[in-house]
Chains A and B, each alone.
Chain A
Amino acid sequence: MQETLEVKDLCKTFKAKAGDVTAVDKVSFEARKGEVTVIVGPSGSGKTTLLYLIGSLESPDGGEINTFGENIAASGADLIRYRRRRVGFVFQFFNLISALTTLENVMLPMDIQAVPVSEQRSTAVRLLDKMGIDARLQKAKANRISGGEKQRVAIARAMANDPDIILADEPTGNLDSATGRVVVDILVRLAREDNKCVVIVTHDEGILEVADHSFHMMDGKLTLQ
């Protein structure tokens, strides 16, 4: 199977008063469509930074991020297109826009791409239905729903533009274990049924049981689990 995502010698160092902190230190790994890749590690190990580097929300100091034949770590890479089409984010703190309804939150990534409103709506409704968000909740403001519901809406939003890669940062970190289980199941289904490349970073080792590939991250270094 062809690699959807290939990370090579990726580095990121943050400058701080107390001294430079190497958050990601020559990390290399591969992830494929239809599989769930889980990276576990304690807080501060650099796993979120790694995810943001892959999602192009941070720029790396060195290394490569190859996806579909393009190195998005290289200067001149079309990061906007990459964020719109190739990658979808699921955050620990959901990051839904509270002034919008859940439906509007899911429509937003499509709106940015100027997708016709009717198409936005039908796609968003379909995705939310798939995530178990009913019509009543679709009309509710994002700050009026529960944590589990928020995370399911966040996953629907990540799926809005039908990306190949889903990056999930501690998707269960703010949820109780039962709700967390539901969210993980959804992410697994996305990989298995929708053929997505799902990368989850978490400190919850319980998620490892759904992983096709798992890595351990400690002090910026990634090791095969």
Chain B
Amino acid sequence: MRSIKRGFKSFYRHPVGNLIVVLLLFVCLAFSLSMLVVKLAADSQVEDIKESVGNYSEVRVSSEYILEVFEGELDKGERQRRREARSMNEEEEVADRAKFLLPEELADIFSRQDHIITFDKIQNAGIIITNAENSELAPLAQYATDAELARQGIEGLNRQTLGNLFVFEGNTDCSSASDFLNGSKKLVEGSFFTYEDYLEKNRVALVEKNMAEDNELEIGDEVEAVIVGGSRNNRTMEIEIIGIYETIEAERDSGSILDYNPAGNKLFAPLTVVQELNGTPGYVELGSYYFDNVDSTAALQQAFSQEIADGNRYELITDYMDYEKISDPLEKVGKTSMIGLIGALGACALIILLAMAIIIGGRTRELGVLKAIGATGRQVIVQYATEVICICLVSVILATGATVLISQGIGNWLLSGSVQNEVVEEGEETREYTGSYLSDRKLYKEGGLYSVAVEEDKTVNLNVIYQGDLLLYGILILFGISLLGMAVPVIWITRLRPARVLSIE
């Protein structure tokens, strides 16, 4: 106890020397701890991100397969295509309509993978409504020719029907449609259709507010939709309006008139109803899946390749790129801060070793005196160890305070450097050409067909949060450097010959 007390006294009796050591250690420790908390924050955020980004996937017909089919059709020539179309029986017609669709059974099989948490099935269809006019498209009819419309690939469409054409989006539960989830559309009246409606094939739909106003439609009214490929007795379907939504964002910047998508062009209906309207029962455009976290991507890819892919016909698309976009800069920050941490800790170790060597070297006479007047080696070591701990403790306390002040800044600085590098690297990448239509395919979660791809907030931020970890690591570092610092007096005192140092002038 007396030795500890002497150590404390010795600490404040050598203010200049100890202050210099404290300052040097403080700088290195503040840097070390800042690097440490930045690394912890970056790692923690990457883990958090794994559960919210990069955990989405879609199964759909591959771009490659669509191109192959297009090329095959082009090779046939127009006359042959017409001849084949005329000679198709009902079953072949369905197959032809579904050639770019995914069998619903496959979407269901994939949904049973272990990692999948939620899933949905989506189909879009261009459907004519006889008793409603698409006020946005109708004025365009005068500028379009039948031949041009036919070239755009929508069968049965002509100048007269263009103004009655609407897009139906079908899924299993309207409230989980991406347009409503991402906020580009908002229910303003009535209600969503439910999973029960999907199962029961209830003929209900939600219409856009402008469309409802232009056509004087209200909740409970019915619209008459034309069934694609419908039989003479089953040509149209009466659909009840159960909800009216408002469009917050709508896509308007397209070169093609058919891609011109006014807000009122889209209705939401149960998937089973859209399948019936489109004449493609048992098919969906895509299966949409949320899974546990990004680490499951490889397992899902493997399962997809084994069970679903069917060569190159279907593809699994994920938002892994979004995850990378956010996680890469954070991971780089983590790596950089790790290097900084190691370097700074090395500097701390060097400083404490050198400082203690200088301090002890300058006080060898004192050590000799202590031994000569009867102090045991242990008493002398405890006294100097106390002094080392005081130096390290003051440095760590100051450094911890400084870390709270500067680590967010250091984190932001490291992150900005990483993000800039990312931008340069991305700029150097060459985007693979897949054709204008196909390259524009977006993930369903970003927005439904003809909706704006609502960009999720992919801005990378590093939030340095101070928890008990900082204190714990501070104590560990304190322990480590104190031990290192003590090594010098221990070695020195053990090897000291008092007779030699006491006779030196």
Contact = CB atoms under 8 A, between A and B. Distances in A.
B365 interface: yes
B374 A93 contact: no
For chain A, the bracket of interface size reads 20 to 34
Interface string A111-132: 1111000000000000000000
Contact of B372 (A48, A57, A161): A57
Contact of B373 (A58, A81, A84): A84
Interface stretch (A30-38, A94-102, A186-194, A203-211): A94-102
Contacts of A97: 366, 369
Interface stretch (B44-52, B419-427, B496-504): B496-504
B76 interface: no
A114 B379 CA distance: 11
B475 interface: no
A72 to B, nearest CB: 13
A29 interface: no
Interface in A47-97: 48-49, 52, 55, 57-58, 80-81, 83-85, 89, 91-93, 95-97
Nearest to A154: B369
A157 B379 CA distance: 19
A109 interface: yes
B471 to A, nearest CB: 33
A57 B373 contact: no
B418 interface: no
Contacts of A48: 503
Contacts of B14: 99
A95 B505 contact: no
Given A52-B499, A57-B499, A91-B502, A112 B366 contact: no
A112 B379 contact: yes
Interface in B362-383: 365-366, 368-376, 379
A171 to B, nearest CB: 14
Q: Which residue, B2, B373, B379, has most C-beta atoms of chain A within 10 A?
A: B373
Contact of A112 (B374, B498, B499, B503): B374
A67 to B, nearest CB: 15
B499 A93 contact: no
B10 interface: yes
A55 B498 CA distance: 11
A198 interface: no
Given A111-B2, A112-B2, A112-B379, A89 B373 contact: yes
Q: Which residue, B365, B369, B376, has most C-beta atoms of chain A within 10 A?
A: B369
A108 interface: yes
B457 to A, nearest CB: 60
B372 A55 contact: yes
Given A95-B368, A99-B13, A99-B14, A109 B499 contact: no
Contacts, number: 65
Contacts of A99: 10, 13-14
B373 A157 contact: yes
Interface string B366-405: 1011111111100100000000000000000000000000
A95 B371 CA distance: 12
B359 to A, nearest CB: 12
Given A57-B502, A93-B505, A112 B370 contact: yes
B335 interface: no
A81 B376 CA distance: 10
B372 A112 contact: no
Interface in B200-227: none
Contacts of A100: 13
Interface string A170-185: 0000000000000000
Contacts of A114: 2
A166 to B, nearest CB: 13
A76 to B, nearest CB: 16
Contact of B499 (A58, A84, A92, A160): A58
B283 to A, nearest CB: 90
Nearest to A109: B373
A113 B374 contact: yes
Nearest to A105: B369
Contact of A95 (B13, B369, B379, B497): B369
B6 interface: yes
Interface in A138-182: 157, 160-161, 169
Contact of A111 (B6, B366, B497): B6
B344 to A, nearest CB: 31
A57 B498 contact: yes
A112 B375 contact: yes
A99 B10 CA distance: 8
Nearest to B503: A48
A112 B373 contact: yes
Given A48-B503, A93-B505, A114-B2, A108 B498 contact: no
Contacts of A58: 497, 499
Contacts of A109: 373-374
A83 B13 contact: no
Contacts of A96: 369
Cβ-closest 3 pairs across A and B: A84-B374, A83-B374, A57-B499
Given A91-B503, A161-B374, 13 more contacts: A52-B502, A57-B502, A83-B371, A84-B373, A89-B372, A92-B503, A93-B502, A99-B10, A99-B14, A112-B370, A112-B373, A114-B2, A169-B503
Interface of B: 2, 6, 10, 13-14, 365-366, 368-376, 379, 497-499, 502-505
10 contacts: A57-B499, A80-B376, A93-B502, A93-B503, A93-B505, A95-B372, A95-B502, A109-B374, A112-B373, A112-B379
